[in-house]
Structure 1
Amino acid sequence: MWLSPALLLLCLSGSLSLTGPSSVTGTLGGSLSVQCQYEKEYQSYKKYWCRGQNEGTCDNIVETQGEAKEKNGRLSIRDHADRLTFIVTMENLTADDAGSYWCRVRKTWYLGFWSSGTSVQVKVSVSPARKTAEETTCQAASDIFPGLSTKQNFSAEEVLIHCSGSSSSSVHLLLLVFLKLPLFLTLVGAVLWVNRPLKGPGG
């Protein structure tokens, strides 16, 4: 379809009226926020967050209704008209949340017979949750001493308690594994050596 130069210029300028990040990354179970800025001409219009590979066929998930925060499940959107910004928040992220999304503003003329707007694509990625330093230390302890269990000795029980959520620091765990455990085993060996059966004169 042929477009007049004035209308073509309007469409091209509209594509520059909305800006946002090209990509964002969150972690599994966490949350992320996307901030999109628009020109003043779009201040009074609805803002949308839609999902899909193409701008024209994406499905609207959540939209603004004034400046109040609107929610749809784990997603929310809020328009800060005084800052010409709207913010989309995604919570409790799952692997299925990764994909192509769009920040969108739409305005209508002529009683709805002709509508136009602008959109900007945002690629959402979801990465595995990062292990904390404590979890990494506990995993290393398990790799070094795979046979540890609460039935074997007290030190192993301390290790398991710590790794299941104790408030002790990772430094304490390192002292436990590399200092207390060898000391305990040394004491056990000494007791067994002292109490060993002695051979009589006749052999």
Structure 2
Amino acid sequence: MRSRSVWLLSALFLLHVQGCFSLSCPRVVAGTVGGSLSVQCHYEEKYKNNRKFLCHQSCGPNQEIVMTEVSEREVRNGRVSIRDDPASLSFTVTLEELRLQDAGTYQCGIDITLSWDATFLVEVRVSPAAAPTQSSNPLKTTDTLVPVMTLLPELTLPVHNRPSPPPRSQLSSVHSLKLLLLPVFLKLPLLLGTLGAVLWMKKRLQRAH
């Protein structure tokens, strides 16, 4: 009876090991808070019509986070989706909008009827998002540039009282008057000389008589 139990346990172990070799996934995947990550697993061709699933490390029956259906190659449950691609013999699990509590160990698996499910443990690591870096002299967009001229003291220049120039019409009249008087001034000495000569001749004639 004991040897039969040992044989049964050994057979179950071999079936489980065989299921592990039937599925290949990355052991560790990482992402940041708010981002997303994907886990791509490859399987043997004989399992391309089987359902694929994702669950937590210690999941039991009907505790899968997400599982494909035969008629649906892609299934979504909240922030988690799974897509089976039989043409490439692979399925991909995607976690979106990552949170710190999403970190942990998960099982990617293939649902095998009347046998151990083929599963693979995958560790998910989630790190905080990096804070944006700031320059040493940040320039705020709300700052306003003050014109340089407003920083200078107001200068008051002295104003000299100068006589305003005469109107243009007055200048024209004065110019015309000068042109009229110019011949008179030029002939005046000649007239005076002629008048003096006449007076001198008159006096001389009077003395002769």
TM-score (norm 2): 0.60
> Which segment drifts farther, 66-75 or 79-88?
66-75
More strand by share: 1
Unaligned runs of 5+ in 2: 156-209
| 1:141 corresponds to | 137
Aligned pair partner of 2:84 in 79, 87, 103: 79
The letter of the residue matching 1:127 is S
C-alpha offsets along residues 18-47 of structure 1, whole Å, 9 cap, x if unaligned?
A: 110111111111111110111122222111
CA distance in 1: counterparts of 2:78 and 2:59, whole angstroms: 23
Distance 1:101 1:57, change over 3 A: farther
Report the equivalent of 1:123: 123
1:121 to partner: Cα distance: 0.7
Residue 12 of structure 1 is aligned with which of 13, 17, 22? 17
CA offsets, 1:161-200, max 9 Å, x none?
xxxxxxxxxxxxxxxxxxxxxxx79x58x935x569xxxx
Q: Which residue of 1 aligns with 2:55?
A: 50
Q: What is the DSSP-based 3-state SS (H/G/I as helix, E as strand, rest coil) of the residue aligned with 2:46?
A: helix
Contact 1:79 1:86 in 2 (8 A): yes
Q: Secondary structure at the match of 2:7?
A: coil
Bigger Cα Rg? 2
Match of 2:97 in 1: 92
% identical equivalent positions: 39
**1:103 is matched with which residue?**
108
What TM-score, normalized by structure 1, do the two folds share?
0.61
Q: 1:21 aligns with which of 26, 31, 34?
A: 26
Does the Cα contact within 8 Å between 1:20 and 1:35 map onto a contact in 2?
A: yes
Question: Are 2:144 and 1:154 aligned?
Answer: yes
In 2: Cα distance, 1:21 partner to 1:98 partner: 15
C-alpha RMSD over aligned residues:
3.0
